[in-house]
Each structure stands twice: as structure tokens, then as C-alpha cells.
Amino acid sequence: MSDAKAVADRLVKAKRLNALLTPSKDLRKSLAAQEAAARPTGVLYGMPVSVKDNICTLEFTTTCGSRILEGYQSPYEATAVAKLKAAGALIAGKTNCDEFAMGSSTEHSAYGRVLHPLDKTRVPGGSSGGSAALVAAGAVPAALGSETGGSVRQPAAFCGVVGMKPTYGRVSRYGLVAFGSSLDQIGVFGRSVHDAARVLSVISGRDPRDSTCEDRDPLRLPTVPESLQGFVIGLPREYFPAELDPAVRRACERAIRLIKELGAAVREVSLPHTPYAVPTYYVIAPAEASSNLARYDGVRYGPRFNGSADVRSLYRSTRGQGFGAEVRRRIMIGTYVLSAGYYDAYYKRAQQMRALIAQDFRNAFDRGVDLLFTPTVPSPAFKAGEKLSDPIAMYMSDIFTVTANLAGLPAMSLPIGRVKGLPIGGQLIGQAFLEDEMIEAAYALERVVPATEEA
């Protein structure tokens, strides 16, 4: 418990990162109450876990990093949060994020950008940058984030921590504020594979309140393997383009060499529709966002911006002042691609391409590949402000992560090296509901890959 008490002090010191929007005021009291209990209960007994601010909690506000939900107190809590508490975890506060999880740098929060824990001039990734930064800074051993197109794995890679995204339907979305409903998932950050996997196992499992949650038992953790003998690891050629950052390529090549030394067979595969993943994602996700965010109108949630003469002007003023530029951009894109004249040309074709991307993965796994290994992101963390004026360049930082969301597959990022002190992440993509195989391989890789060695 002494370690957990130190977390409260580290959370205070982490304020400089602007990663925590709402800290726990009662963390020390909760620790004292647990110490006074007759005996420890729960597999996460005493573990402080921070929660991204688009996941509903009872004791904290849920703002989604937006002014339009400023001060909003949810009347219910997310299933994932309830399961954490039941396992003995302590909720350490709500973390800063891109507004409504729309962003790749946590620069789109209405409450200011999150600083990278190793270099304040750089971004921690997004949209779950606050959760990643807190774990990387050592303030908490684990944190919850959310994924729509890589928003756990990308900041995990930038910050040098482990980030896991489960199969779509493995973890209940009940209490996760909707952005893109067919893509959204709750994911986990940890300082180690074991920390992240342990939390993921706790929050997984069936939930009658979420119709998209599969009727499956909670994830069971595998044992740490001595080798990867018997594994076949696929290397998608489309994820190693000529323009890949040289340091990222070197770190991946070193990891691949160590995978072979662990006894795994390595095979090149092709996922031919990968080049279409980003445009496909940025049609489907904004389309779903435009529908989900229609509920924020100044009537039911958050503040009402006054000066409105009628309902139309009320909606316009509330959304215009309450939503940030990136959210407004995506709502407009989504409304456009769903409009009667353009639905078939954009949204329908994007859904057809999504099916082809998912088929690419099935083809690779049907040919005997167990897991895929790729870079998590094309480069280390970029400078703050570097891509704000070019949304397309920002979107391209998700080029290696959006495919797993479109296909609904489990994936994770783990540190595999550094360049000039900045972390580099390697990604494992697994087969649906076979997170145990992915975690088993990650255990082995974590043991041998030099996560802090310069590439």
C-alpha cells in the first residue's frame, strides 16, 4: 500500500503535464479504508487507475475534453469503471483528451494540450494522450483510454508505454461516450504488458446493458512463455513503406530479429487494401460522429449559450461555441457524406472498402499466420503545433492503427526502442477474441526487446 500512497504525491507532481483534468480528492481516504479492511479483496486491490474523461464516472465530471459538457456529472458509471472498483482498484481521476476523442495529439482539448512526459515541446499522441502521459510519468501503473482509430496504441507508442485494444465486443462500451459507435472501444495503458493485461482481463466480459458486447467470459491471462516456438508472425509489406522513418525501421528490424531468435517463424504477408484505410476511416468515423453528436444541443446536456431568439439559433450558438474546430470539421464531413446526394458515393463505398480490409486480415490468418507485427506509428512523437494546420498530415499518423479498428481485431503497442530519447512502438495485431495469444507473444517480446535502447 505504500506504493499506492506515493501515487497520490506523483499525481500532484504530474500537474505540469496537464494530463489530469479531475484528480481524486479522496485517494488517500480510499487507501486508508482499504488498509482498515479485514483483508485485501480483488485482483487489482490498491491499484490506482486513471480514466479518460470520455468514460462515465459517478464521482467525477465527464467533459470529453469539451466546453459543451463542462461540469456534466453522469448519473451512472461505465461498466468498465464498475468492474475496476469491484476488483479493488482505486479511480485516481479523469484524464485530459482530445475533444470527444477526435484527434491524434491531445492538442484539441478545450482545457489545453497535454505535454509529452519526456519532451515538453512534443505531443503525447491522442486522443488518449492524458492517460498515456500519466502512465509514462509513473503517476499511475495503469489507465483506461478509448480507441476509435488508434487512440490508445498511438499515444502508447509516443510515450513509451504498453497500450492494448481488445477485440470489438470484448469490453462493454456502456458508459463510453459515443464518437463512432461501430469503432469505439475502451482500451488499457500499462507500464508493463502484465499491468495492462491484468486490467484488460478485469474489464472484459459480457454486459447485458451493451448489445454490442459479446456473450463471452472475461479474458484469461496466459502464462509467460519461455519462447515463441510454434508461433507464425506475419509482416505486412504495406506497413513497411520506403518512407518509413529510418529509426522506426531499425527498431522494427531489431525486434523482428529477436522474434526469430525466440523461435517464431516470420513470414511476409500482404494486406493489399491498407492504402485505403485512412480515407475509409475518415468517412465512416465522421459519419457516425455527426449522428452521435446531434444530441448536444444546449437543451439536454451541458451549458446553454444564451442570446438565442429561437431553437435554430440556440442550436447554432451552443454548438458553435461549445464544440472546437476539429469536432465541427468532422461533424460537417460526416453530415456531407451521409447526405442524400453523396451517401452512395462516399459512405456506402467506405463500408464496402471496410469489408475488404477485414477480408485482408482473414486471408492472412487463414494462411497460417497467428499474429502480425508492424510499426505502431510511422515516426516518433512530433512537435506540438507541427500538424495543427494540416489535418490530413495529422490523420496520417494513424495509418498503421486504423485497420485494426475497421476490422474489429485486437491489437497492442509496446516499446521497442528510442531515437534521440523518444520512444518507438511496435504493434502486434491478433485474431478476433484471441487476445491471449497476442499477450503471450508480448510477454516474450517485452523480456528481450531493449525498450530504451537507441535505434
pLDDT in tens, the chain (455 residues): 445 567 777 887 788 999 999 877 666 666 655 555 556 678 999 899 999 999 999 999 999 999 999 999 999 999 999 999 999 999 999 999 999 999 999 999 999 999 999 999 999 999 999 999 999 999 999 999 999 999 999 999 999 999 999 999 999 999 999 999 999 999 999 999 999 999 999 999 999 999 999 999 999 999 999 999 999 999 999 999 999 999 999 999 999 999 999 999 999 999 999 999 999 999 999 999 999 999 998 887 767 776 667 888 888 888 888 999 999 999 999 999 999 999 999 999 999 999 999 999 999 999 999 999 999 999 999 999 999 989 888 999 899 999 999 999 999 999 999 999 999 999 999 999 999 999 999 999 999 998 888 98
Q: Are 361 and 277 in contact (CB under 8 A)?
A: no
Q: Look at residue 1 in the predicted model and tell me its pLDDT.
A: 43
Q: Are 104 and 394 in contact (CB under 8 A)?
A: yes
Task: Provide the sign of the torsion angle of the four alpha carbons 120, 414, 285, 171, taken in this order.
Answer: negative
3-state secondary structure of 32: helix
Block residue for cell numbers 440556440: 314
CA neighbor of 179 nearest in space, from 108, 102, 77: 102
Q: Look at residue 103 in the predicted model and tell me its pLDDT.
A: 95
DSSP β-ladder status, 371-375 and 422-429? antiparallel
Give the list of residues 6+ apart from residue 377 with CB closer than 8 angstroms, or none.
Answer: 125, 154, 157, 158, 248, 397, 398, 400, 401, 425
Q: Look at residue 2 in the predicted model and tell me its pLDDT.
A: 45
For residue 78, the 8-state DSSP code is: -
Q: Look at residue 37 in the predicted model and tell me its pLDDT.
A: 57
Q: Look at residue 127 in the predicted model and tell me its pLDDT.
A: 97
Domains, the chain, ordered by start: 2-203 (3.90.1300.10)
Give the list of residues 6+ apart from residue 345 with CB closer than 8 angstroms, or none.
Answer: none
Amino acid at 436: D
Active site residues per annotation: 52, 127, 151
Amino acid at 142: A
DSSP β-ladder status, 422-429 and 232-236? unpaired
Question: Nearest 10 degrees: CA dihedral of 119, 123, 127, 133?
Answer: 10
Distance in angstroms (rounded) separating the CA atoms of residues 392 and 403:
17
Q: Are 354 and 237 in contact (CB under 8 A)?
A: no
3-state secondary structure of 369: coil
CA neighbor of 63 nearest in space, from 303, 318, 314: 303
In order of 96, 132, 227, the CA distances from 123 in angstroms are 13, 11, 36
Task: Provide the sign of the torsion angle of the four alpha carbons 55, 175, 394, 402, taken in this order.
Answer: positive
Q: Look at residue 36 in the predicted model and tell me its pLDDT.
A: 54
Q: How buried is 171 (Cβ within 10 angstroms: 0-12 exposed, 13-18 middle, 19+ buried)?
A: buried
